[in-house]
Amino acid sequence: MKNIVIFGAPGSGKGTQSDKLIEKYGLNHISTGDVLRSEIKKGTELGKTAQKYIDQGQLIPDDLMVSILASVYDSFGEHKGVIFDGFPRTIPQAEALKQMLRERGDKVAAMIELDVPEDELMKRLILRGQQSGRADDNEETIKKRLVVYHTQTQPLIQWYSQEGIHYHIDGLGELDRIFEDICKVMDQI
């Protein structure tokens, strides 16, 4: 089983590369944003609880997020692996994910980091905002998101390095070359 964490700053190409991995390797995909919207839309107890936090402008507590992820993970039944996209974002979340998977006899096989220079991230996100109309893809919000990434999320690189499962991918350049580099990692784990 190839459970992986696809990792990188906003705009690094996680969603694009996840789609390609799903197609090639038959993996399931858990995007925390998609999962939360789905649970809320379905009106599940977890979704209702999450909505209360969102309505108050608060972050969803790690234990609730892990419960939601565990529920989705368990719903896959037998599978080839899962791409975790957007989770974990902090070291406590990484520890909680590790524990959740351990309880199921599973683990994260690799953390694949897509590394893209900040000036390129800005260009990509502003373009995405213009093309998609995403309200959070404006320069001011992007700068705030990148500060949060550098202060809270980037320390996961060191954490996963210590776990021995961090793989650095140059996320700048030709889309197919980036995917080939990811496939080299996938084929060795």
Place of tokens 């190409």: 13
Amino acid at 101: L
Q: How far apart are CA 146 and CA 151, in angstroms?
A: 9
Let me know if 124 is a catalytic residue.
no
- Choosing from 2, 145, 177, 184, the catalytic residue is 145
Catalytic residue flag (residue 102): no
Residue tagged active-site, from 24, 41, 42, 89: 89
Has 80 been annotated as catalytic? Answer: no
From CA 27, how far away is CA 20, in angstroms rounded?
Answer: 10
SS (H, E, C) 73-141: HHHCCCCCCEEEECCCCCHHHHHHHHHHHHCCCCCCCEEEEEECCHHHHHHHHHHHHHHHCCCCCCHHH
**DSSP-derived 3-state class of residue 8:** coil
> Residues 134, 143, 144, 177: which is the catalytic one?
134
Task: For residue 135, give every residue at least 6 positions away whose Cβ sits within 8 Å of its Cβ, in sequence order, or none.
Answer: 129, 141
104 catalytic, yes or no? Answer: no
User: Hey, which residues are catalytic here?
Assistant: 14, 89, 128, 134, 145
